[in-house]
Structures are given as structure tokens and as C-alpha cells.
Amino acid sequence: MARSASPPVDPERPGRRKAGVGPSAAERSEDQTEELGERSVELSHFYGGKIETVPKVPVRSLGDFALWYTPGVAAVSRAIQADPDRAFELTGRWNTIAIVTDGSRVLGLGEIGPEAALPVMEGKALLFKVLGGVDAIPVPIRARSPDEFIATVEAMAPAFGGINLEDIASPKCFGILEKLAHRLPIPVWHDDQLGTAAATVAGLLNALTLTHRSMPEVRTVLLGAGAANLVTARLLLELGHSPHTLTLVDQKGILHADREDLDELELRNPWKYRIALATDGGGRTGDLGAALADADVLLAASTPKPDTVRPEHIRAMAKGPIVFALANPMPEIWPEVAEGAGAAIVATGRSDFPNQVNNSLIFPAVFRGVLDARARAIPDEVVLAAARELARGAALKGLSKHHLLPTMEEPEVFPQIAAAVGDTAVRLGIARRKLSHDEFLERAHALMGRPAQLVRALARARLTPPMPRAAPRRRRKNA
């Protein structure tokens, strides 16, 4: 996109320029992204990646290795051999997860392969540690098929207390999650499905409260039928949303049971097929416009392109509608445009607008909770407990149209979510360790607070070198 070369009023897109926020926000974002990218390469080179392993035991002399390693360690192995669950006490398994990917859908970059996925997985591991106190090991896997991927993850599960699937293309991500969750005795999570859906549901719960609506009575449209929205739809149905007023829309229009491509979906994407049958278009057929007429809620998780949803779409919705435009980096409609067309509440996936629906609000706390409970799985009840607690966290501080969800600067909510997750695991009978609510909370506080101390201490001791100054930025031709 041309930057300062373009005139203040772009004759080709007068509407968007007039709106003020549109192109300038888009351009700002593009410019920033490029600058951050260059800096990220520099720093990745300087630090040689983002994470390393660090001993957590004293090593006073080489003699101590007789305890930590052979011969002492043999007794620890025998204890685990006699009772494999003791691995969760006698090794770091209780707090260690694998971040696994096949590199098939990395960020917005598409299928870039396992090697290129590694920096993203390292970044995720950093988030897991700093936000959740979780030791996460990045493991990109070269797999020729979903079955090979599943077999590989299954084979390495003995080392881990949980598995985080990352950046796997839809729809194969559904089958991979389903099969691994079924086969493994530890929690398996796919953030693009569960994390995003949980954060969306949390935001929606508060938006309904703010606009005096309730779940069974609303008409909701989900734009986009990928990993996140298919799970959001499932969670909404579990929360009591009527299937008769829930409409999914994809590139081919409203997803209903008579659609021509349903047979193909049954073969290629049975998860989408099931939602199509369950909702049957919420009683509607046609395009996005037909879906949105009189709808109370729009949850868009589709293509990152403004104008995917237009002001007239919003105007056709019920009075004071709730609009989540979650595509990144470009929301389906700019918040100002949506508000101008009558939206009562707008949320996006971006941190530079109010109401960011962000899966980082969910996944570190969910893993803290399931790891502390040594849970065997993460059923939807656990996901919903996390969503409800996140919603409650925002409500405790006071809900408003610009404070729908806590921000990342309100970390006090995270241990609460972890405790709610732990409680739910205990209640469902999938916890290997049944702590009380207060014990879960205290533990989460301690473990989630520790990494920040660690990072500070390493910096103070100069064991983590300070960030080098940014190299002068190459000027762009048209700047």
C-alpha cells in the first residue's frame, strides 16, 4: 500500500479515508509490523533464540551429580516404574508441556514448514513461561500425514504433563485434537480452536450483560467457519444458545443443511457438517446480509479485510448490536465504522483498540490450572469455566462498552482463571490431584508470579544481556 505518496483523500476509496480511522490504522499497522519484524530478526540473532533450559537444583560440586544423575537417579526411575503417575512428582513432568506443530498454518504465513515454525513456537513457549509459569518445549514435527503427526505426539507424551497444539491447518486440526485428546492421559489443547473460542465466549457473555440480553433469546451470526468459530458455535450451543437462532456464514453464504456442498463436508470436514446440521442456518438461507437481518450478535473470525462487513450490514441488525470483528491484523470492519453504524459494543483481535479478544488471556491460565490439578483432559466444561471466570474478572472491575474483557495489564485475573479450571477438573473427576480452591489459587499465584522474578533477577545479574540498540532502519523508497 502506498504511504505518504497517496493524497490525503484517496479518490478510489473516499469512504474509507473519510472515516479517518480506517486507512491510517491499517497503514500504521503495516508500517509497525515491518519495523517490528526487522528488530525481531536482529534480536533473535543477538540472543540466539528466546528460551533455554536452566537447572532448578543446586549443583554445589560435581559430587552432586551422583544425586541428580547416576547412581542416585536409578532409585527415582524405579519408583516411577512402579507407579508411572509418580513421574508427576519426581520429575518436571508436572509443569512441562510440548508445543507441537506441523507448520501447516503458521500465523498468517500459511504452510511454511516445521523449521520456519520454530521461532513462533519459541515465542509461544516464552508466553507460557512468563504468563503461566509453564515450562513449554517447542517441538515442530515433520509429518507426512495427520496420522503420522498423531503417532509422533503420542510417542513423546511420556515426557509431558500436557500438549499444546499450535498452528495446524483447519480442518485437520479438529481430527488431530480429537484423536490425541482421546488417546492421551494428559490435557491436549489447540489454542486456535479452544483459546480463541473461550476468549470470544467470555467477551460475548459480558456484552450480553451490558446490553441486557440473554443467551437463549439472542440471534447470533458467526462469520467464518474455521477452527475458532466452529468451536465457538459448539460452546454457544452448550451454553444454551438456541440452534434455531444461530447462523454460521462462510464464503459460500449461510451454512445450512440443504447446501449443495454438505456431502463433501461430511467427508472432508465432519465438524463443520455437524454444526451445519445442528443449526441448519438458524432457520435461514442466503448470504451474510440475510443472516444479519435483525441479528443481535455478529462474531466475525474470517478474512483479515475491512469491508468484509459493511456499515449497512450493521444497520440491518437489531438495535444496538454486538459486533466482534476478530480477524487479524485487519478486522472485518473498523470499530469506528461499526459504531458509526449503530453497534453498541465492538471488540477486535487487536491491542490498539478497546476490547481485545486475545487468547493470551486464556491459555496460560488454563494450562496452569490443568497442570496443577494434573488433569487427564480439557473437556468443554473446563473451557467454559475459564471463559466465565475471564468474564467475571472484567465484571469485577466494572463493565463498560470499552471494558468488556480484562487486558493483559490486568494479570490479577489469571490465577483466578487457573483456580476455576482446577476446581472444574476436580469436580469432573479428571484431576489426579484434588486441591481446594484456595490451594489452587495460592499455587497459581506463586507459579505465575515466579517467572517475572526470574526474568528480573537474570537481567539484574546481566546473565540476560540488555537489549542492544536497534540498528538504524533502512529507509523505504517511498518514505
Partner 1 sequence: MSGEGGRAGRASGSTEPSGPPIHLRPARDADVAALVPLLLRLKRLNEEFDPLLKVREDAEQQARQILKADVGNPKAVVLAAEGVGPDRGKVVGFVRAHVRERAFYAPEFEGVILDIYLLPLYRRRGVGEFVLEEVTKALKAKGAGIVTAEFPAQNEIASRFYSKRGFRPITAVQARSL
By annotation, the residues acting in catalysis are 69, 124
Is residue 337 a contact residue for partner 1 (CB under 8 A)?
no
Is residue 290 a contact residue for partner 1 (CB under 8 A)?
no
| H or E stretch covering 43 | helix 21-47
Closest distance of CB 236 from partner 1, Å: 10
Interface with partner 1 (CB under 8 A), residue from 10, 266, 307, 410:
266
Query: For residue 88, which phi and psi values (nearest 5 degrees)?
Result: -75, -15
Closest distance of CB 247 from partner 1, Å: 11
Is residue 274 a contact residue for partner 1 (CB under 8 A)?
yes
Nearer to partner 1, 276 or 435 (CB): 276
Nearer to partner 1, 382 or 420 (CB): 382
Whole-angstrom Cα distance, residue 137 to residue 5? 45
Is residue 182 a contact residue for partner 1 (CB under 8 A)?
no
Contacts of residue 71, Cβ cutoff 8 Å, sequence gap at least 6: none
Is residue 147 a contact residue for partner 1 (CB under 8 A)?
no
Nearer to partner 1, 30 or 266 (CB): 266
Stretch that binds partner 1, among 31-39, 73-81, 204-212, 275-283 (CB under 8 A): 275-283
DSSP collapsed to 3 states, 368-406:
HHHHHCCECCCCHHHHHHHHHHHHHHHHHHCCECCECCC
Stretch that binds partner 1, among 54-62, 220-228, 250-258, 343-351 (CB under 8 A): 250-258
Which of 352, 366, 345 is closest to 128 using CA atoms? 366
Nearer to partner 1, 253 or 342 (CB): 253
Cell of 86: 509418580
Closest distance of CB 173 from partner 1, Å: 17
HSE at residue 384, side-chain half, CA atoms within 13 A, is: 14
CB contact burial 405-427 (16+ within 10 A = b; e otherwise): bbeeeebebbbbbbbbbbbbbbe
Q: Which residues on adjacent β-strands are paired with residue 135?
A: 96
Q: Which residues on adjacent β-strands are paired with residue 249?
A: 223, 254
Compute the chain's Rg from CA coordinates. Answer: 24
Closest distance of CB 280 from partner 1, Å: 5
Whole-angstrom Cα distance, residue 366 to residue 372? 10
Closest distance of CB 184 from partner 1, Å: 22
Closest distance of CB 291 from partner 1, Å: 14
Q: What share of the chain is helix, strand, coil (3-state, %, to 5)?
A: 50, 10, 35
Interface with partner 1 (CB under 8 A), residue from 237, 395, 428, 455:
237
Interface with partner 1 (CB under 8 A), residue from 12, 258, 409, 438:
258
Query: How many residues line the site for partner 1 (CB under 8 A)?
Result: 25
Is residue 171 a contact residue for partner 1 (CB under 8 A)?
no
Is residue 281 a contact residue for partner 1 (CB under 8 A)?
yes
CB contact burial 60-77 (16+ within 10 A = b; e otherwise): eeeeeeeeeeeeeeeebe
Contacts of residue 301, Cβ cutoff 8 Å, sequence gap at least 6: 196, 200, 222, 223, 224, 226, 228, 229, 232, 324, 326, 327
Is residue 50 a contact residue for partner 1 (CB under 8 A)?
no
**Are residues 139 and 167 in contact, defined by beta-carbon separation less than 8 angstroms?**
no
Maximum CA extent, the chain: 78
Interface with partner 1 (CB under 8 A), residue from 92, 123, 175, 283:
283
Nearer to partner 1, 105 or 234 (CB): 234
Closest distance of CB 221 from partner 1, Å: 16
Nearer to partner 1, 195 or 281 (CB): 281
Query: How far, rounded to the nearest angstrom, does the alpha carbon of residue 112 sit from its chain's CA centroid?
Result: 20
Stretch that binds partner 1, among 37-45, 53-61, 174-182, 256-264 (CB under 8 A): 256-264
Binding mask 207-236 for partner 1 (x = CB under 8 A): ---------------------------x--
Nearer to partner 1, 280 or 332 (CB): 280
**Are residues 195 and 160 in contact, defined by beta-carbon separation less than 8 angstroms?**
no
Interface with partner 1 (CB under 8 A), residue from 3, 244, 402, 476:
244
Nearer to partner 1, 236 or 330 (CB): 236
Is residue 145 a contact residue for partner 1 (CB under 8 A)?
no
Name residue, grid cell 503427526: 149
Interface with partner 1 (CB under 8 A), residue from 257, 396, 458, 467:
257
**Are residues 390 and 403 in contact, defined by beta-carbon separation less than 8 angstroms?**
no
Interface with partner 1 (CB under 8 A), residue from 92, 113, 119, 243:
243
Site residues (vs partner 1, CB under 8 A)? 234, 237-238, 243-244, 256-258, 260, 262-264, 266-268, 273-281, 283
